Amino acid sequence: MDVWFTENQGPGLRIGCQVKKVLASTKSAYQEIAVYETSSFGRLLALDDVIQTTERDEFAYHEMIVHVPMFVHGHPRRVLIIGGGDGGCVREVLKHPSVQLVKLIEIDPEVTRIAREFLPGISHSLSDNRVSLEFRNGIEYLRETDEQYDVIIVDCTDPVGPAVGLFSDEFYSDAFKALSDDGVFVEQTESPFYNLDLIERVQRDLKKHFPVVGLYLGAVPTYPGGLWSYSIATKGAELPGDPLIPLTFSGKYYNAYVHRAAFVLPEFVRKRLGGPPVD
């Protein structure tokens, strides 16, 4: 059997992964959801034919979107995750002993149901008793909530369709209000090679609300271009943060030096964002 899942990763660019078996393929109220057993990446979760995560490289994404803001904060107790219904971010957040509550707001219950069934290595922490899971629109939740969080992590799909509002000025304003006085916000902001316009806009919008805004990068082989960006904003904490904090901790991708090096931007990204000559 020579069957391939192919993602159109952008104009004129495709990635293909060989499929051994289709484990799930369904249409929820929001999107098409599929899980494939691949020959080289383990199980692969796709939403509307876009790769969200694979068992082989999910660690690189989940560790970087979680541990950087967590260690920049230093002692987060209450963490909000918007999106991330597969549970990968929850798993990483719970590696921090200071955490008392992880609130997960996922719009699509089908994503979580399928992740629980087919991606146990990613979703298993969803049943931890510190986790509060709610299926609703994250934009509305953040607009309406009176809760306060130490870290907000936006683990969302590409900025098309329902996710557009997660990259809006209003959303960042609501995120600021829902953060405690030493709160830290992070959002995945796509590829520095292909989506620099988006990154520039997000950075500009975040600066309207947050005094400290930065960008860091990490490799994710199955995402377009293989290099991914994360926009981070704080209410005052310096970036990249106290280098001594994470020295005792390492993941499979993340360690204290990876944390600091991730803030060093290739010259074409640094120039575009108008940062200092070097960071």
Whichever of 236 and 243 has its CB closer to a second copy, that residue is 243
Question: Is 155 designated active site?
Answer: yes
DSSP secondary structure letters along 144-161: H----EEEEEEE---SSG
* From 57, 86, 108, 155, the catalytic residue: 155
Does the protein bind a second copy through residue 258 (CB under 8 A)? yes
What CA–CA distance (Å, rounded) separates 197 from 188? 14
Q: How far is the CB of 57 from a second copy (least distance, A)?
A: 7
Q: Give the DSSP H or E segment for 217.
A: strand 212-219
Helix axis angle, 169-177 to 196-207, nearest 10° = 40
Q: Are 196 and 233 in contact (CB under 8 A)?
A: no
Among 24, 33, 53, 57, binds a second copy (CB under 8 A): 57
Among 1, 4, 46, 81, binds a second copy (CB under 8 A): 4
Among 193, 198, 201, 212, binds a second copy (CB under 8 A): 193
Would you state the structure tokens that stand for residue 257, as one six-digit string?
Answer: 């030096």
DSSP classification of residue 124: G
Q: How far is the CB of 231 from a second copy (least distance, A)?
A: 18
Residue 120: is the preceding peptide bond cis (ω within 30°)?
no
Does the protein bind a second copy through residue 10 (CB under 8 A)? yes
For a second copy, the binding residues (CB under 8 A) are 4, 6, 10-18, 38-41, 57, 60, 191, 193-194, 217, 219-221, 223-227, 247, 250-258, 260-261, 264-268, 270, 277-279
Q: Which residues participate in catalysis according to the annotation?
A: 155
